[in-house]
Chain A
Amino acid sequence: NSKVIQTPRYLVKGQGQKAKMRCIPEKGHPVVFWYQQNKNNEFKFLINFQNQEVLQQIDMTEKRFSAECPSNSPCSLEIQSSEAGDSALYLCASSLSPASAETLYFGSGTRLTVL
């Protein structure tokens, strides 16, 4: 079973509503990734953190997406104003380090449906 814990498992929002999901990485893993998996099962990298610092993120030009990994709290990903196209499985993964050799361990995801 995955040791990366994501909540909630399912999230249903209306268009324009906020959608927030959380992730507790595997113990001892300081690096956290967020991916979006669409209905065609394609993965899109969103953002990653090392501890509380952002390492990389896509150009969220619409600024509707925000994420943080505060100290001693779960990481979170929030969509400020949900759109139908945001409906997807949002996967959180953690890793021991940013190094290329390190495996990413994934949670089971939060499935967001925007009506």
Chain B
Amino acid sequence: GDSVTQTEGLVTLTKGLPVMLNCTYQTTYSPFLFWYVQHLNEAPKLLLKSSTDNKRTEHQGFYATLHKSSSSFHLQKSSVQLSDSALYFCALRANVLYFGSGTKLTVEP
């Protein structure tokens, strides 16, 4: 069936360092992948989405590339800020949106 795996539950980094949050997926359909960010007590908001193989997509300093060969859509940022502290969810859209278990990113001063 359709599923998404995020391997890191918690990531803690110092401001200014790079980050990569892992996301792999399984689907029998043509994949549409999304990254959502959820700040405390707020709605999940779209950060990035892609369905194009090997094409980098960017938004607000975050970027990701869908690699169909490895079924991956890892999220990266070259320099994290304090305001990036939040929950990050990778999601696969098949008939419904399937979410990974989420990664809580904490950025320290």
B30 contacts the other chain (Cβ, under 8 Å)? yes
When the two chains form their complex, are residues A43 and B89 in contact, meaning their CB atoms are under 8 A apart? yes
When the two chains form their complex, are residues B43 and A41 in contact, meaning their CB atoms are under 8 A apart? no
| B49 closest partner in A (C-beta) | A103
Q: Which residues of B contact A102 (CB under 8 A)?
A: 93
Bound CA span A6–B95, Å: 23
| B102 closest partner in A (C-beta) | A41
A43 touching B99 in the complex, CB below 8 Å, given contacts A100-B94, A103-B34 = yes
Q: Which residues of B contact A66 (CB under 8 A)?
A: none
User: Which residue of A45, A55, A107 contacts B43 across the interface (Cβ within 8 Å)?
Assistant: A107
When the two chains form their complex, are residues B97 and A45 in contact, meaning their CB atoms are under 8 A apart? yes
B19 contacts the other chain (Cβ, under 8 Å)? no
Q: In whole Å, how far is A57's beta carbon from the nearest beta carbon of chain B?
A: 10
When the two chains form their complex, are residues B96 and A33 in contact, meaning their CB atoms are under 8 A apart? yes
| B92 closest partner in A (C-beta) | A100
Bound CA span A48–B97, Å: 11
Size band of the interface chain A makes with B: 20 to 34
B32 contacts the other chain (Cβ, under 8 Å)? yes
A103 touching B46 in the complex, CB below 8 Å, given contacts A42-B101, A42-B102 = yes
**Interface 1/0 per residue, A84-113 and B, CB below 8 Å:** 000000010100001011111111110000
Taking Cβ atoms with an 8 Å cutoff, the residues of B that contact A are: 29-30, 32, 34, 36, 38, 41-46, 49, 51, 87, 89, 93-99, 101-102, 104
Apart from the given pairs A56-B96, A103-B49, A105-B46, 7 other A-B contacts in the complex at a CB distance below 8 Å: A33-B96, A42-B101, A55-B95, A101-B32, A103-B46, A104-B46, A106-B44
Taking Cβ atoms with an 8 Å cutoff, the residues of A that contact B are: 2, 4, 33, 35, 40-43, 45, 48, 55-56, 91, 93, 98, 100-109
